[in-house]
């Protein structure tokens, strides 16, 4: 195993569980740890990117923030896979809805992640790579969601490097069946593939710009809890 700690992570060998939940916001990582994990301890806080390890229903689970965008999740997930021997990562984040039948608070499981990013350039591939989720984790998350009565859609999302795009991405990608947009899934899926590890992205629809809809800040916490609980149940049964 490569040297730990790393320049971006103060944890030592063995500090992370084999499976890690990753929200973008480090404070949401703290919320997940405080709300759901038992015997929890903080294992890193470099640059304010908080990470915790504890147990959920007796099973070891870690949670750590990944920041915004593909370069950020690219660094943190790479180190978890390669330096800390993490086997699986579940990104738990928000997304902007594209599909006409999506509503606020719906959960989307990213089966695949289209992207406008050049992240795959580093792998020197002679073509276009299609970043996809681990099928076992994906199918289990769908089962868990159905068992808990959580509405879930499965399909393609767009991982974009651009947040303020004036609606251009939706106009281009929605006709291709892309369900929603976010900024990290493609990089995570590529890192998992390159490392021979597993990854899944679960996303709560927090806004639908074309319809002028968005969850108020005070409602996001409760809405995200459904997704978090699906992710945690998936984590301990995959």
Confirm whether 70 is domain-assigned. yes
3-state secondary structure (DSSP) of residue 141: helix
Domain count, the chain: 1
Confirm whether 177 is domain-assigned. yes
Q: What is the pLDDT of residues 44-93, one digit of tens each?
A: 999 999 999 999 999 999 999 999 999 999 999 999 999 999 999 999 99
What domain range is 141 assigned to?
19-237
Confirm whether 162 is domain-assigned. yes
- Report pLDDT for 217: 74
3-state secondary structure (DSSP) of residue 86: coil
What's the whole-model pTM score? Answer: 0.96
Confirm whether 58 is domain-assigned. yes
Confirm whether 11 is domain-assigned. no
Q: What is the pLDDT of residues 159-171, one digit of tens each?
A: 999 999 999 999 9
Which CATH number fits the domain that encloses residue 209? 3.40.50.1580
Write down the catalytic residue from 25, 116, 161, 207: 207
Confirm whether 9 is domain-assigned. no
188: enclosing H helix or E strand: helix 185-195
Confirm whether 164 is domain-assigned. yes
Q: Would you call 207 a catalytic residue per the annotation?
A: yes
- 161-174 burial by CB neighbour count: b if 16+ within 10 A, else e? eeeeeeeebbeebb
């Amino acid at each position: 195993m490569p040297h730990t700690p790393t320049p971006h992570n103060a944890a030592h060998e063995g500090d992370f569980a084999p499976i890690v939940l990753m929200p973008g916001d480090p404070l949401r990582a703290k919320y997940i740890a405080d709300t759901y994990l038992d015997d929890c301890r903080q294992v890193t806080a470099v640059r304010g990117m908080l990470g915790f390890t504890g147990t959920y229903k007796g099973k070891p689970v870690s949670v750590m923030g990944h920041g915004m965008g593909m370069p950020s999740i690219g660094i943190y997930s790479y180190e978890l896979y390669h330096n800390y021997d993490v086997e699986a990562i579940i990104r738990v984040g928000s997304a902007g809805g594209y599909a006409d039948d999506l509503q606020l608070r719906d959960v989307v499981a990213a089966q695949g992640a289209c992207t406008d990013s050049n992240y795959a350039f580093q792998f020197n591939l002679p073509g276009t790579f299609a970043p996809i989720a681990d099928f076992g984790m994906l199918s289990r998350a769908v089962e868990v969601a159905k068992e808990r009565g959580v509405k879930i859609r499965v399909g393609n999302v767009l991982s974009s490097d651009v947040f303020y795009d004036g609606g251009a991405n939706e106009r281009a990608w929605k006709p291709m069946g892309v369900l929603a947009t976010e900024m990290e899934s493609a990089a995570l899926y590529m890192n998992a593939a390159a490392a021979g590890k597993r990854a899944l992205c679960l996303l709560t629809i927090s806004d639908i710009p074309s319809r002028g809809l968005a969850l108020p800040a005070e409602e996001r916490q409760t809405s995200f809890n459904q997704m978090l609980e699906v992710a945690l149940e998936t984590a301990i049964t995959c």
